[in-house]
Amino acid sequence: MSASGSSKPRYMEKYNRQKLIGTGAFGQAWLVQSKADGRQLVMKEIKISK
């Protein structure tokens, strides 16, 4: 959680989610675009159980 209290992690402020690529047992893969230079990357979001 970021310092502002939102549920969006701080590192995600650098990227725009474009589309969901896939899902699996451990999480999801997203196509994202860097706000700094426009590069497209794949980011994997992993579920962590408490």
Q: How confident is the model at residue 2 (pLDDT cuts 50, 70, 90)?
A: very low
Best CA proximity match to 31, nearest among 23, 43, 47? 43
Q: Please check the confidence at residue 47 and state whether its pLDDT lies above 80.
A: yes
Six token digits for residue 15: 């990227």
Query: Apex CA 5: angle with CA 47 and CA 22, to 5°?
Result: 25
Q: How confident is the model at residue 10 (pLDDT cuts 50, 70, 90)?
A: confident
What is the spatial distance between Cα 23 and Cα 6, in angstroms, rounded to a whole number? 24
More confident site: 48 or 4:
48
The answer to whether 50 is a known ligand-binding residue is: no
Using DSSP's 3-state secondary structure scheme, residue 10 falls into helix
Contacts of range 17-22, beta carbons closer than 8 Å, 24 or more positions apart = none
